[in-house]
């Protein structure tokens, strides 16, 4: 008789453990969202161990790169607008030969400035300035780089890159840092 009671106690214990395991699985699926469960507010799939960035530095870096992207976009639009104005000028019939030559010279200068800006930015990126933007004006060159501060060697690298490509003197180079 003792044997049948032990078997019954073992079966009861086994049944309780199976029910507890089932309840644990159900609670896990309910509160973490099952892989097959597609809720309306969560369109992305979730994976166990997937990293989720919560540090504010990531957002700041994105804002800084957005600054440089916006700067370059605005610069491109300004160049295109200037070229459009010059093209409209060239299309006019009442221009003298001197005025046409002046418009062509300005168009050539803008094209050269665009080429020089891209080349200087490429050199600066190769010299480990990840985010940088260059704007060549008539009398000076402005360089915006992402850095808290620049040491003398970095300043010399920037000035060298600008003067070797653009032909401006080192005194005409303005360096602006963005943190």
Ordered domains of the chain (ranges, CATH): 58-178 (1.10.287.4300)
CA distance 36 to 75: 48
Rg, the chain, Cα only:
33
User: Count of residues for the chain?
Assistant: 179
pLDDT of residue 173: 92
Asked if the model's pLDDT at residue 56 lies above 60, the reply is no
The mean pLDDT of 63-72, rounded to a whole number, is 76
- In the sheet that holds 132-136, the strands lie side by side as 132-136, 141-146, 173-178
Distance, in Å, from the CA atom of 172 to the CA atom of 133, rounded to the nearest integer, reads: 16
User: Which of 80, 81, 174, 88 has the alpha carbon at shortest distance from 133?
Assistant: 174
Poorest-pLDDT segment among 64-73, 135-144, 156-165: 64-73
pLDDT at 41 over 50: no
The structure's pTM equals: 0.57
Spatial separation of the C-alpha atoms in residues 95 and 46, rounded to whole Å: 66
What pLDDT sits at residue 43?
A: 46
pLDDT attached to residue 40: 45
Residue 93 and residue 116: Cα distance in Å, rounded? Answer: 32
């Amino acid at each position: 008789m003792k044997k049948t009671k032990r078997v019954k106690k073992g079966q009861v214990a086994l049944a309780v453990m199976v029910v507890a395991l089932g309840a644990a699985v159900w609670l896990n699926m309910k509160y973490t969202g099952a892989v097959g469960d597609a809720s309306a507010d969560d369109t992305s799939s979730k994976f166990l161990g997937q990293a989720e960035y919560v540090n504010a530095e990531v957002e700041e870096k994105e804002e800084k790169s957005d600054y440089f992207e916006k700067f370059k976009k605005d610069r491109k639009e300004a160049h295109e607008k200037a070229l459009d104005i010059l093209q409209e000028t060239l299309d006019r019939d009442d221009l003298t030969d001197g005025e046409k030559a002046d418009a062509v010279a300005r168009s050539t200068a803008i094209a050269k400035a665009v080429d020089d800006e891209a080349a200087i930015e490429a050199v600066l990126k190769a010299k480990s300035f990840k985010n940088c933007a260059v704007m060549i004006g008539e009398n000076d060159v402005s360089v915006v780089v992402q850095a808290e501060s620049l040491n003398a060697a970095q300043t010399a690298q920037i000035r060298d890159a600008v003067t070797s490509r653009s032909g401006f003197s080192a005194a005409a180079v303005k360096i602006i840092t963005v943190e």
